[in-house]
Structure 1
Amino acid sequence: MTENYIAINWNEIEDQVDKATWEKLTEQFWLDTRIPLSNDLDDWRQMSSDEHYLVGHVFGGLTLLDTLQSQDGMSSLKEQTRTQHEEAVLNNIEFMESVHAKSYSSIFETLNTPDEIDEIFNWTNQNEALQFKAQRINQVYQKGTALQKKIASVFLETFLFYSGFYTPLYYLGHNKLNNVAEIIKLILRDESVHGTYIGYKFQLGFNELSDAEQDKLKMWMYDLLMELYANEEVYTHALYDQMGWSESVLTFIRYNANKALMNLGQDPLFPDGADDVNPIVMNGISTTTSNHDFFSQVGNGYRLGQVEVMEDEDYNYGLND
């Protein structure tokens, strides 16, 4: 006799964090089509060819990583879930990663010519350092344990994305490409929830391991982080040396690597703190630096209920809220 198929019951919640995260994610739902990107064209025309190259290629890299997360990352995590509600949350995350990936194409369509877009995607699909980090994370998704997959996902969401996020946050601090930055801030708001939720689920499983098993997994985790960081140095220098920003970007990356470890309940590795990061970029992380909510530029009709402004402490999304 076949086992009965079980309907999900949102009136009986095994883990309240699942419900809180679902509500947080659905509350902050958005689509790129409602952001007036064409308003940034005047800024774009005044920027140099080096700046055009940088913006296009960091967004190409982000597109690749969001594609990985939407096509392989969440599906691999759904193979081992603790609750039905967790799987529902991961479905939401999977969809929003696709929204993120599409958003970059909307930016390309607005700012770049068809030939430039082709060049960006050709570069994205062939760049060795970019391909290394995508393939290394996907290797864990395909062959890793349930806890290793969660580590890889948090490293991707809270660490590896940030070499790309630096650029739009920098320009936002200089009052350029503000509508592009609105999309990035929306993505950041999502990623802060994704990384801490999956980190929380990791901690539940990690705390069930023996001390010896924990030590072995921690060694694997830090080895993976250093492997990814070494590659990130290569990727960052290739993108940012022409602008003279590489060292500042690497500080930002190390800071976010520590954030990823903290999401996983582990000790930070690098000495870099918030005070070491370019203050213009740090200000961009907090949406309180903006004088309007995310949707004010497209009118109140788009608000799906009250959209909360992300406070500085929300960069580490509070799962106990």
Structure 2
Amino acid sequence: MNNTYYEAINWNALEDVIDKSTWEKLTEQFWLDTRIPLSNDLDDWRKLSDLEKKTVGLVFGGLTLLDTIQSENGVEAIRYDARTPHEEAVLNNIQFMESVHAKSYSSIFSTLNTKAEIDEIFAWTNTNEYLQKKAKIVNEIYKTGTALEKKVASVFLETFLFYSGFYTPLYYLGNNKLPNVAEIIKLIIRDESVHGTYIGYKFQLGFNELSQEEQEKMEDWMYTLLYELYENEEKYTELLYDDLGWTEEVKTFLRYNANKALMNLGLNPLFPDTANDVNPIVMNGISTGTSNHDFFSQVGNGYLLGSVEAMKEDDYLIGVPKDTH
């Protein structure tokens, strides 16, 4: 007679070593927004134009919404289809860090903005047509999609849709402005890089179990979804950046990251854009080593950035020729 009602998780009996390596990477990278001295950016902030300040606020409002979806619905939707108990543990970590990300933007707001400005930002975020559309597209997949479709939506959100917002702080960092705000964004990007590759890897495990006909049907659905999201993201980008004159550069950055999302999922890139086409100031913002604000607990992201960036595509890609990257 089997007396087992509930099995304890055993990290010494791994079904998938990627679960353990991802857990270790995520816990090594743990950080909190409260450790970053955001007030040190106030001098830079005061020198920005009113239009730039407004754009920064709206950008972070949009990012807050996306991270809220991930922390409240996205990870929860994926957890039901976890292949191993260790995967569930990794997803628990990811879900918590998505909440940290969402809270971090409010820390930025409370440092840079007045209460009235913050209220205005959230009112815009909660009613903007294009922002709400992408939230609805992704969240409806979380609610009604298949296990694989939910993973695709998650990877598209984390590796693609965030980047219309990430462009702004990376641009300022590349111009030696708002370094502490950008420190938070780089910490978030570092997390999202692992989240996107890990969930993309789990997608590929399931995708490779499908018949050829099912795979072709799934690929068609994925590319159709990406086109729908990109068309909406173009309009969102135009709304945010036309007045600053940044729109076309941001769209290039979006296409570059859409390709990375596809590669996380084991598919070939769709757009011709590469890192060489992205504004070099922004790419410099991504690659620049950052200050370590708390040496003893190593909260800053500079000390781990290189090792994490090395894990972006190849570590988790299965069955995709390396020359497609």
> In the TM superposition, what are the counterparts of 1:124-203 in structure 2 within 5 Å?
124-203=125-204
Q: Which runs of 5+ in 2 are unaligned?
A: 318-325
Change over 3 Å in CA distance of 1:313–1:11 after alignment to 2: closer
> In the TM superposition, what are the counterparts of 1:143-292 in structure 2 within 5 Å?
143-286=144-287, 289-290=288-289, 292=290
Residue type of the alignment partner of 1:308: L
SS at match of 1:236: helix
Residue 95 of structure 2 corresponds to 94
8 Å Cα contact 2:249-2:279 kept in structure 1: yes
Aligned pair 1:313/2:313, yes or no?
Answer: no
Aligned pair 1:17/2:18, yes or no?
Answer: yes
Q: Which runs of 5+ in 1 are unaligned?
A: none
Q: How many residues align?
A: 314
8 Å Cα contact 2:190-2:305 kept in structure 1: no
8 Å Cα contact 1:21-1:319 kept in structure 2: no
Residue type of the alignment partner of 1:313: A
Residue type of the alignment partner of 1:29: F
Residue 301 of structure 1 corresponds to 296
SS at match of 1:7: coil
8 Å Cα contact 1:251-1:276 kept in structure 2: yes
Q: Distance in 2 between matches of 1:304 and 1:133?
A: 32
8 Å Cα contact 2:200-2:316 kept in structure 1: no
Q: Distance in 2 between matches of 1:64 and 1:319?
A: 28
Change over 3 Å in CA distance of 1:185–1:235 after alignment to 2: same
Residue 322 of structure 2 corresponds to none
Residue 111 of structure 1 corresponds to 112
Residue type of the alignment partner of 2:72: Q
RMSD: 1.7
8 Å Cα contact 1:67-1:101 kept in structure 2: yes
Q: Structure 1 length normalisation: TM-score?
A: 0.95
Instruction: Give the Å deviation of 1:131.
Output: 0.4
Q: Distance in 2 between matches of 1:184 and 1:195?
A: 16
Q: Distance in 1 between matches of 2:38 and 2:313?
A: 28
Residue type of the alignment partner of 2:255: R
Change over 3 Å in CA distance of 1:68–1:220 after alignment to 2: same
Q: Distance in 2 between matches of 1:208 and 1:251?
A: 34
Residue 323 of structure 2 corresponds to none
Q: Distance in 1 between matches of 2:300 and 2:172?
A: 30
Superposed CA offset, 1:98-153 (max 9, x none): 00000000000000000000000000000010000011000000000000000000
Instruction: Give the Å deviation of 1:302.
Output: 2.4
